[in-house]
Structure 1
Amino acid sequence: MTAPMTVAAVGVHVLDTHVLGIESIPEGSDGQLVETIRMSPAGTAGGTAVVLSRLGAAVRSFGAVGADPVGDTLLGLLEREGVDVRGLARKADAQTSASVLPVRPNGDRPAWHCIGANGLFTLDDLPADALEGVTHLHLGGPEFLGGEAAGELLARARGLGITTSVDILAPGDPDMLEWVAGALPHTDYLLPNDEQVLGFTGAASLVEGAQALVSRGAGCVAVTQGRRGALVATAESVVEVPAYAIEVVDTTGCGDAFSAGFLRGLSLGQKPADAAALGCATAAQVAQGLGTDAGVYDLEAVLKFEGSAEVVRG
């Protein structure tokens, strides 16, 4: 459980504002009392960074945020979780990326989102020593860099013996897959959700879609399926991993939590299917609270949960 892991979490960092207890949007200028309003660090890089830090990894964040109070808040929340934020560039000409998420009683959460500084991030924002001492590079949102630049970064990392993973933020669309295609041959682990896989590939089934992404160059594709758990595909096999039976409060950040648990499992020497089970167990911690930083847990607690919790059948 103490296996060393030093992660460069590169890409999308967002400040989420969650509003819990929303059943409808008030008409006109009417107001409504809600249960909770809270902020949390998020994004395919930022959210994963938080959870990896909780699971015992040393994490450095790289990306772009605004030189604004929203950015101050986001950096403070990341630092409180033990994430090294010195690699986050401050952009004076853009606001920090932010989302507002009204959470319905069943855990669904539509969103209002401002891209902000994430849209200005380039490889030039990375310090020269960004990959020094790193064992794992996690790129969240390669579409903001484009496939060519993302592939350049990932190839550089792999040339240094660093394991690479990629989580695409955008919805599934064949054109988006082509935009980031240059990154796939340099990706050890691709971490999409089921809707993205089907949208990217146009496949009739999730198995076919995951296998198609492997054929495009990804070494392993670990797909989240919500309450159905995960599916792990390589060139040799496809394995389904069940989710855990829990009472869902908010599904925000569950994909990022799965990514963190999956990657941490790999760093502990687990096979991909076993690492996916740890990913599902980690996502279960987040789903029982509000936001990516929900609850209080560490690697030992998640492993204990994984060994005792009931899985979803059927």
Structure 2
Amino acid sequence: MTTSSARSVDVLAVGDASVDYFVRVPHIAVADDKAIGRLVGVHGGGMSANLAAAASFAGARAALATAVGSDEPGRQALERLAAHGVDVSASIAVPGGHTWFCVIQLDATGEKSLVGAVTEVKIPAVDQISDDLLRTARVVAPLADDLGWATGLARRARAAGAKVAVDLEPGAVAGRWDQVRALARLSDLVFCNQGTVRVLAGGDPVRCAELLISAGAGAVVVTRGRDGALCFGPEESWSARGPRLDVVDTTGAGDALAGAFTGSWIRGRSLADSLRAGVAAASLCVSHLGSRAYLDAGTGIETLARDVTLDAAPHPQGIR
């Protein structure tokens, strides 16, 4: 088995890379409604791609294994990630395929509504991820849109000697507690947003962490938008709030937090310091249009992390 010190990648994200089309609208359109806006930007996106880029931003050696189309958007997506320090050599371009994309409505406050258009290409097939690739990584972060796919990959990653980090979305976990528990058992880090907390624990982040850690998760991070994030470990719990920056676009903020946290943690930082890094990256992310535009801003993560407020948080009962 490959030893941790011999592994060439700190964080290997396995999943998606997309193209995001941003439309500024007077209000977020709902059913039987119309919001006429204007195109304000086209940027790279995708939860896995964003996570890998944020891990690299935090100083980790990051890689992405994804599938894109053989079209111009796919080529540009991989080129931009490589420019941000992400190793994309394990990614594939599917001949004749079309890279999936999202259309994102942004209102005046920076809040968003996202519509994803999944094409025939989104994530690699299971047999396209080799055990040799998994053995290069210290931590593997599989996209958890499909819990069965993610659990199978997490199991193989653990067998290859890697740690596992997953980000749970509310639509993926609803009504699937048994699958969530199986994935949590294999995961060293589990990230949840407020929607996921509502589905799993009625909106109570402490109870959500208790459920997931009791199921076997090593630590749980709950993102809370403008209110920062919470981190729960077996013996410690923390609350962090970022500096007040003008919010331009919230797209990808949770991915930035998860990536920067994971990249910091796998490099030996404490849960508290990793939470600082994650919240700093998310704060910087929302102050720019596009989920990875902050990477070109020239602001280092350590600079912003110093302005993150960190406090002790209520600790879940029954997991000490």
Distance of aligned partners of 1:297 and 1:248 in 2 relative to their CA distance in 1, 3 Å threshold: same
Partner of 1:7 in structure 2? 11
Q: Is the 8 A contact 2:142 2:154 kept in 1?
A: no
Q: Is the 8 A contact 1:8 1:130 kept in 2?
A: no
Distance of aligned partners of 1:194 and 1:44 in 2 relative to their CA distance in 1, 3 Å threshold: same
Q: CA RMSD in A?
A: 3.0
Of all paired residues, the percent bearing the same amino acid is: 24
1:62 equivalent to 2:62? Answer no
Q: Is the 8 A contact 2:84 2:295 kept in 1?
A: no
Instruction: Tell me the SS of whatever aligns to 2:59.
Output: coil
Partner of 2:230 in structure 1? 231
In structure 2, give the amino acid aligned to 1:18: F
Partner of 1:46 in structure 2? 49
Q: Is the 8 A contact 1:254 1:292 kept in 2?
A: yes
Q: Offset at 1:44?
A: 2.2
1: CA distance between counterparts of 2:126 and 2:261? 26
Distance of aligned partners of 1:183 and 1:68 in 2 relative to their CA distance in 1, 3 Å threshold: same
Q: Is the 8 A contact 1:172 1:197 kept in 2?
A: no
Q: Offset at 1:11?
A: 1.4
Distance of aligned partners of 1:75 and 1:272 in 2 relative to their CA distance in 1, 3 Å threshold: same
Instruction: Tell me the SS of whatever aligns to 1:60.
Output: strand
Q: Offset at 1:30?
A: 10
For residues 26-58 of structure 1, give each alpha carbon's deviation from its aligned partner in whole angstroms, at most 9, with x where no partner exists: 999996545x22222x22211111122233322
Structure 2 unaligned residues grouped into runs of 5+? 1-7, 312-320
Q: Is the 8 A contact 2:239 2:310 kept in 1?
A: no
Structure 1 segment 122-271 matched on structure 2, within 5 A: 122-141=125-144, 143=146, 145-146=148-149, 148-157=151-160, 160=161, 162-171=162-171, 173-199=173-199, 201-203=200-202, 205-271=204-270
Distance of aligned partners of 1:298 and 1:215 in 2 relative to their CA distance in 1, 3 Å threshold: farther
Q: Offset at 1:258?
A: 0.4
State the TM-score, normalized to the length of structure 1.
0.84
In structure 1, give the amino acid aligned to 2:305: E
Instruction: Tell me the SS of whatever aligns to 1:231.
Output: strand
Q: Is the 8 A contact 1:261 1:279 kept in 2?
A: yes
Partner of 2:318 in structure 1? none
1:107 equivalent to 2:110? Answer yes
Q: Offset at 1:197?
A: 2.1
2: CA distance between counterparts of 1:73 and 1:265? 27
Count matched residues.
302
2: CA distance between counterparts of 1:243 and 1:177? 32
1: CA distance between counterparts of 2:100 and 2:94? 11
Instruction: Tell me the SS of whatever aligns to 2:112.
Output: coil
State the TM-score, normalized to the length of structure 2.
0.82
For residues 243-301 of structure 1, give each alpha carbon's deviation from its aligned partner in whole angstroms, at most 9, with x where no partner exists: 32111110011001101221122134322122111110111111100112113469982
1: CA distance between counterparts of 2:27 and 2:145? 34
1: CA distance between counterparts of 2:203 and 2:250? 26
Q: Is the 8 A contact 1:7 1:59 kept in 2?
A: yes
Q: Offset at 1:90?
A: 2.8
Q: Is the 8 A contact 1:17 1:38 kept in 2?
A: yes
Structure 1 unaligned residues grouped into runs of 5+? none
2: CA distance between counterparts of 1:43 and 1:155? 24
Distance of aligned partners of 1:123 and 1:30 in 2 relative to their CA distance in 1, 3 Å threshold: closer
In structure 2, give the amino acid aligned to 1:213: L
Q: Offset at 1:222?
A: 0.8
Distance of aligned partners of 1:93 and 1:145 in 2 relative to their CA distance in 1, 3 Å threshold: farther
Instruction: Tell me the SS of whatever aligns to 1:197.
Output: helix
Instruction: Tell me the SS of whatever aligns to 1:64.
Output: strand
Q: Is the 8 A contact 1:10 1:62 kept in 2?
A: yes
